[in-house]
Structure 1
Amino acid sequence: MNHNSFLNMLSRACNKAQFIEPNYASTFFSYLGLRAGASKLVNADGTELNADEMKEMASSFAPTRNRERSYEVRDGLAVLPVSGTLLHKYGYLQPRSGATGYDGIIARLNEAISDPEVKAVMLDFDSPGGEAAGCFDATQMIRKMRDIKPIYALCYDTMCSAAMALGSACTERWITQSGNAGSVGVVVAHANYEKHLENEGVEITLMHSGAHKIDGNPYESLSVEVKTRIQAKLDKNRAQFSKIVADNIGMSVEAVLATEAKVYQGQEAVDIGFADRLVNGVEAIPLLIDIIKTKSDTGTTMPKSIQAAASQSNTQASTSQGSGETTNEQLEAARLEGAAQERARCQTILTHEEAISRPSMASHLAFKTEMGADDAVELLKASPAMATLESTGSDPQTNQMKDGLTHAMSEIEQPNLQTTGDSDSLSADQKAESELLSAHTKLTGAK
C-alpha cells in the first residue's frame, strides 16, 4: 500500500461510524495505528494494547503467504504444474483450458526463486509440446534460474517436444515408468483448400506485391521452391533445438539428432539420456523433499570467484614448492584477490538500478548464488518488480546494501577481526565496517 492510499484509508476509518466486528476492529485499527506511528490502542472497554500487542494483532491483517502464491509449497518444495499445449504470451499464470503459457511458467518460477521458503522447484510436466515461438527464450530463462535454486522436471506422464526443451534446462529430469519424453524435432502443417473451394464454386484471388508474399497460402498447392524453403527452415530449427537440448543435459548434438525426434518411454528415456532417474509418480515429491533436506544439511559452498583464485594459488604453490620458493605470500594474495572479486560481484548486483525494486531477489542472487554479475542483472530485469517503495526518508540503495549485508552476515561464521594501530588511523570505510561487525556480534553473539 503506498502512502497516499494509506492516508486515504486512515481518513475514512477515523472519526466515522464503522460496521466492524469488535475483535476484527482491534486488528484493523492496530494495523492503521502502527502505520500512523501510534504507540498504543485504547479499546472501547478501556483496555489498552501496547505497540508489541498491536504488532501481533496487525500481523493477521495481511493475507497469508500461502494464499498469495501461484504454486503449492510442500516442505520447501514448490510444485508447478505444466500441462497441455504450451503457448506463447498466453496471459495466464496457471494451466487453463488444456494449455499452459510460457509466460506463466516463467512468472511462477520467478516468484518461487524469490520465495525464501522455497528451497527447490519441481516442474510437473504432462505436455506434448506446443508453439516454437517463445519456447527457446523460456528454456534459456529456466537454465539461468536453475543456478539459483535447483529445478527438477518430473515427466508425469508426457514431456515431449517443446516440453522436452523446457525440461532439458532443469537441474535434473525424472520420469515415470509410463512417462514419454523426447520428440526433439519440428513440424509444420499446410492445409490446401483449393479443390474443396473449386467444388463449392468458390474462386479466391490473392493480389499481392512481393514475389514471396503469398508463399504457403491455403488456396493452392505448395510449389517445389516453397516446400524446399520450408524444409530448410525446419532443418535449421531442428538443429538449433537439438543443440539447446544437448548443451542443457550434457549430450552431444549428434546423439540428439540421431534420435530422429523419437519418443522414449520410462527406462528408455533414462538409457538414451533424456531423463536422469526412473521414479514412481506418487513417490516423486516425497523423494525430492528428502533430497532437499539432505542437501540443506551440507551447508553453503565457497563462492566461485574465491574457489578460482584458491585453485590458481594451489597450482602456483605446487610449482613454487617444486622450485623451493616460499608460497605464503602467493596464497595470501590469491585469497585477497578472490575476496575482492566476490565483493565486486555482490556490489554490482546490489547497487544496480534493477535491484532497487527487487531487493529480496538481489540479496538472494548476491549472497546465495554464484551467478556472475551480468547474468544476475539480466535475471533481475526479467523478474517482476515489487510494489513501489514508500517514502521512508532514506536512500533505497543504502537500505538495500544494509539489508544485504545483514543477510550475508547472518548466514556465515564471523571471523575474529583485529584492528591494527590506533583507531584514528583507520579510514572512514574501515571504521564503518568495524562498527557494523561489532553491532552484529553484540546482537547475535557470533564471533
Structure 2
Amino acid sequence: MTEPPDNTRTSAGPSLAQIAGRVLNRPLLLHPDKADLILHVLQGRIGIEPLQTVTPETNRFVGTYRRDNGSIGSMRVENGVAILPIVGSLVNRGAWIGASSGLVSYEGIAAQLREAEADLDVRAILMDIDSPGGEATGMFATAKLVSAVNKTKPVVAFVNDVAASAAYGIASAASEIIVSPTSMVGSIGVVLTHLDRSGELEDRGVKPTLIHAGAHKVDGHPFGPLSDAVRADLQAEVMKIYHQFVGLVAEGRAGRISPDAIRATEARTYLGADAISQGLADRMASLEEVIGALSQPPSGASPQRKGGAMTKTPQSEAPSSDVSAISPADLRAAVDVARTEAHAAGVSAGKAEATARIKSILTAPETDGREAQALVLALETEMTAADAAKVLAASPKANMSASIADRAAQETELGAETPADHRNRSERSAAGWAKAITQANARFS
C-alpha cells in the first residue's frame, strides 16, 4: 500500500453550485447553525467562485499509519486502537476522510470501518467525531454498519467536540458515547430548506418560465414560493425521515433513552453532563483516557458490547450512577482486580470447554470412518461439535475402516513408532492422545 495522502495541502474543493445542489430542497440531518452558515455563504454567490479550504488532518500526533506487520493503513492506530476521524460535514459520496474539501463521506467512513474490522493489529475502533451532520442519504446504512462491526470489535464514539444530527446518528450505534465537558450532542431532527428567489430575479428584470411534463416535475423550484400542496409533500417527507431517525437512535441507545424521550428533545443540543443526564451520552473522559482503556487486551473476557461499561467492576460493588464520583486510583484498582479474576476464570473455563469439545467431536457417530478428518476439526479448528458433526456427515468415509486410536497411532505427530521404538500399539496410542490433549490445552492457555 502507498502512504496515506497528504491531507494538509490546499486543493480545489466543491463549487458553490455543487454545495447548493446538496443542501437546497433536500432533507438534511444538520445542525441549524451550520445550515444558516451555508445559506449565508450561498446567498448571491452561487456559481460565481470556487471554494478552497485547508482542513488539517485530525489526530496528527496520535498513533501511526504503519502497522506492526509493516503494512500501511488508511487510519492511525495507537496501541491496537484504530482512530477513525469523522470531522466535517457529512455527504453520501465524493469525499475521503480528512480530505481537504472539508467534507466527510459515508463511503469513506464505511471503508475505514471495514478495514479496521479486518485488521489483525486492531482490537478496538474509536470514532473521533467533530461534525455538525449532513446529508440524510447514507447515514442510516453507515450507522447499521457501525452496529454490525461492533459485534466483532468494540466501536466507541468520542465526541470531540460536536456530534449533531447525522453525526449523532452514527455515534448512537456505537457501544458507548464519550464526551468532554463542552461537547455538544443531539440535534435529532430533520431540516429541508427552500429558497424563493423570485424577488431577487424581479429586481434584476428576470422572469423565468418553466416548461415541464409531469405535474410534480418542478416541485420546490426556487423561482417562486412553495404552494400549499408542495409544502405538505415536503413536510411529509421530512417527517418520514424524522421517524426513521428517532427509531435508529432509540435502537442504538436501547435502555438509555426511549423514543418518546428522543422526540421530547425537539432536536435540542446538550453539552457534556446534560447530554449524559438526557441519556444521549454515557460518560466523560479525555481522548487519552479512552485510548488507554480500549488498549487493554480482553484478558479471557469477551470484547465489550453495546449497553455495557468499558471496564468491569468487582461483583461486590454496584455500578455508580455518577462516574465522576469514582477516583482514578479506585477505578484502576477495580480494573486490575476484574482483569485478574477474568483471566483465571477464562483460562480454567477455556481448558474445560476445549476438552469437552474435542471429546464430543471424536466420539460423535458421524466420526466413524472419518477419524482423520475429525482429528483435524477437533484440534486445528475452533468449530463447535454440532458444526463438526454436520461437516463429517457430509464427507465420504475412508476406504479402510479403523478405530480412532489406530488412526491416531499412525500419525507421526501423535507419536508414531520409529525403528528404535518398540512400544506396543496401546502404548503408542496413549502417548498420541496425551500429546493431542497437551496441544489443545496449550492453545487455550
CA distance in 2, matches of 1:152, 1:204: 51
C-alpha separation between the residues in 2 aligned to 1:186 and 1:429?
61
Unaligned ranges ≥5, structure 2: 2-65, 304-349, 380-407, 415-434
1:204 maps to 2:200: no
Per the alignment, residue 140 of structure 1 pairs with 144
Q: CA deviation at 1:239?
A: 1.2
Are the structure 2 counterparts of residues 100 and 427 from structure 1 closer, same or farther at C-alpha, using a change threshold of 3 Å? same
Whether 2:223 is the aligned partner of 1:219: answer yes
Q: 2:252 is aligned with what amino acid?
A: N
Secondary structure of the residue aligned to 2:160 is: strand
Partner residue of 1:156 out of 160, 164, 177: 160
Q: Name 1:176's counterpart in structure 2.
A: 180
Rounded to whole Å, the distance in 2 between the matches of 1:249 and 1:182 is: 13
Partner of 2:375: 434
| Identity in percent | 34
CA contact (8 A) 2:91 2:103 kept: yes
Distance 2:218 2:108 in 1: 34
User: What is the aligned partner in structure 1 of residue 251 from structure 2?
Assistant: 247
Q: Does 1:98 find its partner at 2:102?
A: yes
Q: How far off its partner does 1:282 sit?
A: 4.5
Gaps of 5+ in 1: 2-61, 302-408
Verify: 1:417 aligned to 2:359, yes or no.
yes
| Structure-2 residue corresponding to 1:188 | 192
2-structure distance, mates of 1:135, 1:202: 39
The equivalent of 2:300 in structure 1 is 298
Q: Is the 8 A contact 2:87 2:98 kept in 1?
A: no
| TM-score of the superposed pair, with normalisation by structure 2 | 0.56
**CA positional deviation for 1:65:** 4.5
Task: Choose which of 257, 267, 270 in structure 1 pairs with 2:273.
Answer: 267
SS at match of 1:82: strand
Contact 1:177–1:280 under 8 Å retained in 2: no
Q: Is the 8 A contact 1:192 1:218 kept in 2?
A: yes
Q: If the length of structure 1 is used for normalisation, what is the TM-score?
A: 0.56
Q: Is the 8 A contact 2:86 2:97 kept in 1?
A: no
Count of residues in Structure 1 that have an aligned counterpart in Structure 2: 274
User: How far 1:287 moved relative to its partner?
Assistant: 3.6
How far does residue 96 in structure 1 lie from its aligned partner after superposition?
3.7
SS of the residue 2:250 aligns to: helix
| 1:220–1:119 CA distance, 2 compared to 1 (3 A) | same
Describe the superposition over 1:40-62 as per-residue Cα deviations: whole angstroms up to 9, x where unpaired.
xxxxxxxxxxxxxxxxxxxxxx9
What's the C-alpha RMSD, in Å, of the aligned pairs? 3.1
The alignment partner of 1:244 has SS state of helix
Kindly report which structure 2 residues correspond to 1:17-416, keeping only aligned pairs within 5 A, or say none: 65=69, 67-250=71-254, 251-289=257-295, 292-293=296-297, 296-300=298-302, 413-415=354-356
Given residue 268 of structure 1, which amino acid in structure 2 is its aligned partner? Answer: D
What amino acid is aligned across from residue 430 of structure 1 in structure 2? E
For each residue in 1:321-340, what CA deviation from the matched residue of structure 2 results, as whole angstroms up to 9, or x when unmatched?
A: xxxxxxxxxxxxxxxxxxxx
Structure with greater helix percent: 1
Q: Structure 1 residues 253, 95: CA separation in 2 closer, same or farther (over 3 Å shift)?
A: farther
Q: 1:234, CA displacement in angstroms?
A: 1.2
Q: Deviations over 1:305-351 (max 9, x none)?
A: xxxxxxxxxxxxxxxxxxxxxxxxxxxxxxxxxxxxxxxxxxxxxxx
Corresponding letter in the other structure for 1:147: K
The one-letter amino acid paired with 1:92 is: W
SS at match of 1:445: helix
Shift of 1:137: 0.9
